[in-house]
Amino acid sequence: MLDRRGFLVASLAIAAGVATGGCARSRGSSATDPGPDRALAQGSSPSPRATPAASGGVPGSSDSSGLSAGAEQLPADEPATALGEPTLPVVEPWRPGPYDVRPTLKAAAVALVTAAGTWGPGSPQLVGRLRAAGFDGLDPATVWALDRPPRAGPRAAAVAQVVVAQYGGLLARSASVIVVVRQTIADAGELRTRDATWDVRLAGDPMRVTAVLPATPRPAAAGLSNAAREVLASDRLQLPAVARADVAAGFVGDPLLHVLLGLAARWPLAVSVLGAGHPYRIFDKPAVSDHSRGRAVDIWRVDGAAVVEQGPKVDQLMRAAAALGAYQVGGPRDLGPRSAPYYTDPVHQDHVHVGVRP
């Protein structure tokens, strides 16, 4: 099992942000120089080996989920599976992608998730773990979902694997980092998994974590469209638990679901967020986001490669989305021409935003 030392997460330096908007079309606005953090990410040394949480590694990865295909499709609280003497999985330490903007902001969000979701016998209570990780001013009630369950046994332990950390918005003195995390709990000879999506907010100069907005899964609908059933049954679309709940609730419109199915027919895709878990409004504007209307999706991985790696299939994905009728396609590059739906900014270096009209 895990010792006390393995759960103390070092405080992370949090850098100031760059001026840009949220997840919405912003053609014509200047993409601010992301500053030295990007150069640091491009020139960083290779990532260390995967480290068990017991040895103090910070779980998670922005460009490799560390999970088997389809693992993100499990419900928010998976039934326990008897495995004899359980062994917690080895987690992949989060590391920035080669084109990540302001990676220290994402690292702060990842450290928070790790502190809340990694615990074991002898580890501090939630407030103590947050304090040790440098989040002593944060309301623990906002992150209790990953804490020790009330009925957990005395030798229960858990590790948190960050599936993806992407921007939901980025301004000069405020930011939103959307973190999808899978937690594995070992208790009484069984392993249990549960998923969560958090909108981690940062603000100030320098920016620090100020709030957490946990996503709440929507209740399932009595009946679903054919498109919704196809999306939920597809083995080529990996969706976090709250995104699956959005589809199962009938919240996501068929026009967007048809675009997703069309894209998935060409490449296996991993979705980071649909509605729940994304900022309700466009981050720098009063307008309600298309995500909040069931009309937009963020895709963080295409054919096994993270968007933040900015490989050739990212451009192909963006062009295919436009060809399928999307009126907004945000990503790492503005593919033009000016009449086309493409746009780019620092927020969209790590995912492709696809928005449709109703």
How do residues 204-229 score in pLDDT, each as one tens digit?
999 999 999 999 999 999 999 999 99
- Domain stops at, among 214, 241, 271: 214
Range of the domain at 9: 4-214
Q: Report residue 338's pLDDT band, with 50, 70 and 90 as the boundaries.
A: confident
The Cα 218–Cα 199 span in angstroms is 16
For 102, which DSSP code? S
Q: Number of helices and strands (H, E) in the chain?
A: 7, 12
CB atoms within 10 A of CB 124: 15
Average pLDDT for 294-316: 96
Q: Report residue 21's pLDDT band, with 50, 70 and 90 as the boundaries.
A: low
How do residues 237-272 score in pLDDT, each as one tens digit?
999 999 999 999 999 999 999 999 999 999 999 999
Sign of the CA dihedral running 301, 47, 334, 16: positive
Whether 219 maps to a domain, the answer reads: no
How do residues 67-92 score in pLDDT, each as one tens digit?
333 333 334 455 555 545 579 999 99
Whether 221 maps to a domain, the answer reads: no
Contacts of 344 (CB under 8 A, 6+ apart): 31, 330, 331, 332, 333, 334
Average pLDDT for 142-148: 93
Q: Domain containing 305 — which CATH number?
A: 3.30.1380.10
Helix (H/G/I), strand (E/B), else coil: 354: strand
Distances from the Cα of 215 to the Cα of 119, 126, 218, 271, angstroms: 22, 20, 9, 15
Whether 220 maps to a domain, the answer reads: no
Tell me: do 75 and 40 sit in the same domain: yes
In this predicted structure, the answer to whether residue 53 has a pLDDT above a threshold of 50 is: no
Average pLDDT for 342-346: 95
- Domain stops at, among 156, 181, 214: 214
Q: Determine the pLDDT at residue 358.
A: 87
CA within 13 Å, CB half, 142: 18
- Domain stops at, among 187, 214, 241: 214
Mean model confidence pLDDT for the chain: 82
Q: Determine the pLDDT at residue 36.
A: 33
The Cα 174–Cα 205 span in angstroms is 9
Domains held by the chain: number: 2
Tell me: do 78 and 103 sit in the same domain: yes
Largest Cα span, the chain: 61
For the stretch 309-312, contacts whose Cβ atoms lie closer than 8 Å and that sit 24 or more positions apart, written own/partner, are: 309/63, 309/97, 309/98, 309/99, 310/98, 310/99, 310/349
Q: Determine the pLDDT at residue 16.
A: 35
Tell me: do 252 and 204 sit in the same domain: no
Q: Report residue 61's pLDDT band, with 50, 70 and 90 as the boundaries.
A: very low
